[in-house]
Amino acid sequence: MITIFKFKKLLLISSTILIFAGCSSKNEVAEYNKPALYWYNKMIKQISNNDLDAADDTYTSLESEHRNSPLLETSLLILINAHIDEEEYSLANFYLDEYSKRYSLSENIDYTRFLKIKANFLGFKYQLRDQELLENTISEIDNFKKRYYKSPYLPLVETMNSRLYMAKASLDKEISELYTRVDKPEAAKIYAKKVEESWINQKEIVPVKVPFFRSLFE
C-alpha cells in the first residue's frame, strides 16, 4: 500500500521530471531561427570536437535558414575538408557535388575540383576492386589539366596523376597475368599491350601489396 508520504514523494519526483522535460523542449525549440553566425560557430566547434554527424546537422540548419548567407560557402568548404581528414570520402564527394552545383562560378571552383580528385585518390585502396574509380579519377585529372592549367593546385594533381598511372599499369599487368593463367592468350595480349603503351617504365611498376586475407577476394 502506498502511504501518503510515499505518494507525495512520487508526485514530487514526477513534477521534477516534467519540469526538466519542459526545459529540454524549450531548449530544442530555441535551436531554430538563429543567425547565420550562430550556426557557423556551432559547426566549427562541433568539427573541432570531432563530432561530424552533429556538424552535418548544423550545416543543414544553416543552409535551410540562410540560403544566401556568405558564410554558407565557407562552411561547406570547411565541412568538406573535415570529412576528407576523417577519411569519409563519400560524404566529402556528396558535399563537393553540392558545392559545384551551387557555386559553379566561384573563384574557388578549381580548389574544389582538386579536392574531389584528392578524395578519390585517397579513397583508392583496393587495387583490383576500384578499377572504375581509378579510370574515373584519371579522366577527372585530364579534365582538370585542360580547364585549370593555371591553377596553383596543378602540381599536386600531376603528382596524383603519376601515381594513378602507375597503379593502372600495375593493374593491367595483374589482369594480363591472370588471363595467361586461365589460358586466354588473346585477352592477356590486350592488357600486356596496355602496359607497354603506358608511359610508365615497366621497372617502375611496383605491385601493390595486398594482405593475404584480402587477396583471396580480389
1-49 residue pLDDT tens: 444 444 444 445 444 444 444 444 444 455 788 999 999 999 999 999 9
pTM attached to this predicted model: 0.70
Does 191 lie in the same domain as 130?
A: yes
Does 216 lie in the same domain as 114?
A: yes
Among 73, 106, 139, identify where a domain stops: 106
Question: What's the domain count of the chain?
Answer: 2
Query: Which helix or strand (DSSP H or E) is residue 18 part of?
Result: helix 4-29
Per-residue pLDDT, 98: 93
Per-residue pLDDT, 200: 53
Does 171 lie in the same domain as 96?
A: no
Per-residue pLDDT, 69: 94
Q: What is the CATH number of the domain that holds 49?
A: 1.25.40
Does 117 lie in the same domain as 54?
A: no
pLDDT band for 127, please (50, 70, 90 cuts).
low
Collapsed DSSP state (helix, strand, coil) of residue 199: coil
